[in-house]
């Protein structure tokens, strides 16, 4: 059920990418898709009543192994978030350059892109 | 707990629809930041504090860059989507993808049971069991990030550097000096 909601968020972003005409709206949709995927990957590693994967001295190591959430998806999502920032900055830079050249964000008026 | 994450995801879906469908670009930018902060709260509730701190900076940076792109004098706002036939085809394809893709979750364990429990030799088990002994880091996420998968982090830094260099190269005004301008120094042929 929760996975389905996450997938719905992804589909909302995909709808925006496919249907919208404004370049800024398309970039916003890409950001939404990226957020949905990140939340989904962290959700895979969640354990009910789990604890954060940080050791402390008061807890036995065996109990920590039994109760901790999965740290590997968290580490990879951390990488993905930072890469997403770089990709978003790159796309916005290209969009601003297109605006300077064409004076609009409407992708149907940017006709010289057609091959 | 489970209902809270459900409500949070519902809020994020609504904010995403508002961000995509609203006419005002500035409102759209702020709505997509609302989605981002919903993601951050979800990370905190799913016991991922390391992952939750980084996107705060990332969301604020994305907000600043997007506002820089949308705040322009005389920016024409236009409504409307692409043509009608293409839109119908798109909606049909999206429905098919959603209804087919949702069946993937039948094979998943229910929420709250991590996938690593199913796999006997999952690398995560080794990381949790030996992380402190092998790396000396009490935080297993940083142990994975900076020791077990350090090459991934190096690649991440490379990708980020390349993307930022590309962005700077794209948005700077003048690519290089025009050849007709008189050269001041002799350092450039």
Query: Is the pLDDT score of A113 beyond 70?
Result: no
Higher per-residue pLDDT: A61 or A39:
A39
Which residues, numbered 32 to 51 in chain A, qualify as contacts with chain B under a Cβ-Cβ cut-off of 8 Å?
32, 35, 38-39, 42-48, 50-51
Q: How far apart are CA A113 and CA A110, in angstroms?
A: 6
Give the model's confidence band at B189: pLDDT under 50 very low, under 70 low, under 90 confident, else very high.
Answer: very low
Q: Is residue B140 part of a domain?
A: yes
Who wins on pLDDT, B39 or B83? B39
Mean pLDDT of the region B63-71: 86
B84: in domain: no
Report, as an integer, the average pLDDT of A63-82.
89
pLDDT band of A78, cuts 50, 70, 90? very high
Asked if residue B188 has pLDDT above 60, the reply is: no
Contacts of B113 (CB under 8 A, 6+ apart): A47, A48
Chain A residues near residue B75 by CB distance under 8 angstroms: 105
Could you tell me if residue B181 is inside a domain?
no
Which value does ipTM take for this structure? Answer: 0.89
Of the residues B20, B37, B72, the one at which a domain ends: B72
> What is the CATH number assigned to the segment(s) A2-113?
1.10.287.3510
- What is the distance between the terminal CA atoms of chain A, rounded to a whole angstrom? 43
Does A99 sit within 8 Å of B98, measured CB to CB? no
pLDDT of B158 strictly over 90: yes
pLDDT higher at B189 or B125? B125
Last residue of a domain, one of B72, B106, B128: B72
Higher-confidence position of B114 and A36? A36
Q: Does A94 touch chain B (CB under 8 A)?
A: yes
Question: Is residue B95 pLDDT above 50, yes or no?
Answer: yes
Say which of B1, B5, B144 has its CB closest to residue A75: B144
Decide if A52 and B48 are in contact by the 8 Å CB cutoff: yes
* Beta-bridge mates of residue A106: A22
Residues B3 and B63 in one domain: yes
Interface probe with A: pick from B110, B113, B140, most Cβ of A within 10 Å? B140
> For B11-64, what is each residue's pLDDT tens digit?
999 999 999 988 888 888 999 999 999 999 999 988 888 889 989 999 999 999
In this complex, do A12 and B138 lie within 8 Å of one another by their Cβ atoms? no
Local confidence band at B119 (pLDDT 50, 70, 90 cut-offs)? confident
Q: Distance between CA A100 and CA B75 in Å, rounded? A: 11
Mean pLDDT across chain B: 84
pLDDT of res. B184: 56
Residue A103 confidence class, pLDDT cut points 50, 70, 90: confident
Task: Give the residue with greater pLDDT, A15 vs B116.
Answer: A15
One domain, residues B135 and B68:
no
Residue B13 maps to a domain: yes
Q: Domain extents for chain A?
A: 2-113
Phi and psi at residue A20, in whole multiples of 5°? -75, 155
Question: Hey, is the C-beta of A59 within 8 angstroms of any chain B C-beta?
Answer: no
Residue B96 lies in a domain: no
Partner B contacted by A74 (CB < 8 A): yes
A101 — pLDDT class (breaks 50, 70, 90) = confident
Q: Are A38 and A80 in contact (CB under 8 A)?
A: yes
Please give the residue that has the higher pLDDT: either A77 or B76: A77
How far apart CA A55 and CA A59 sit, in angstroms, is 8
- Mean pLDDT value of segment B61-70: 88
Q: Which residues of A88-105 are buried (b: 16+ CB within 10 A; e: fewer)?
A: bbbbbbbbbebbeeeebb
What is the number of domains present in chain B?
Answer: 2
Give yes or no for A27 touching B (CB within 8 A): yes
A71 touches chain B (CB under 8 A): yes
Grade residue A57 by pLDDT with cuts at 50, 70 and 90. confident
Of all residues in chain A, the one with the smallest CA distance to B129 is A65
State residue A42's pLDDT score. 92
What pLDDT, on a 0 to 100 scale, did the predictor assign at position B186?
52
Q: Which helix (H) or strand (E) holds B72?
A: none
- The pLDDT-based confidence of A100 (bands split at 50, 70, 90) is confident
Of B55, B69, B128, nearest to A81 by CB-CB distance is B55
Is B79 domain-assigned?
no
Q: How confident is the model at residue A34 (pLDDT cuts 50, 70, 90)?
A: very high
Which residues constitute the domain of residue B58? 1-72
């Amino acid at each position: 059920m929760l996975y389905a909601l996450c997938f719905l968020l992804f589909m909302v972003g995909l709808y925006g990418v496919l249907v919208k005409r404004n370049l800024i709206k398309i970039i916003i949709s890409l950001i939404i898709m990226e957020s949905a995927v990140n939340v989904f990957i962290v959700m895979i590693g969640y354990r009910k009543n789990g604890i954060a994967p940080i050791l402390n001295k008061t807890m036995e190591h065996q109990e920590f192994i039994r109760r901790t959430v999965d740290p590997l998806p968290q580490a990879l999502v951390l990488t993905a978030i930072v890469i997403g920032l770089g990709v978003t900055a790159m796309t916005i830079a290209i969009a601003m350059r297109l605006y300077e050249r064409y004076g609009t964000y409407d992708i149907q008026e940017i006709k010289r892109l057609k091959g | 707990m489970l209902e809270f994450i459900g409500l949070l995801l519902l809020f994020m879906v609504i904010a995403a629809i508002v961000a995509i469908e609203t006419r005002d670009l500035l409102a759209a930018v702020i709505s997509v930041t609302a989605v981002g902060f919903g993601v951050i709260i979800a990370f905190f509730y799913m016991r991922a504090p390391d992952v939750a701190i980084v996107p705060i900076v990332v969301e604020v940076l994305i907000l600043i860059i997007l506002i820089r792109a949308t705040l322009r004098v005389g920016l024409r706002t236009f409504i409307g989507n692409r043509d009608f036939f293409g839109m119908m085809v798109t909606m049909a394809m999206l429905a098919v993808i959603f209804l087919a893709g949702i069946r993937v979750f039948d094979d998943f364990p229910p929420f709250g049971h991590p996938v690593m429990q199913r796999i006997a030799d999952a690398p995560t088990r080794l990381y949790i069991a030996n992380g402190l002994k092998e790396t000396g880091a009490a935080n297993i996420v940083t142990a994975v990030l900076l020791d077990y998968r350090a090459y991934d982090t190096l690649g991440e830094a490379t990708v980020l550097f390349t993307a930022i260099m590309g962005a700077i190269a794209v948005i700077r005004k003048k690519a290089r000096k025009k050849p007709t301008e008189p050269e001041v120094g002799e350092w450039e042929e």
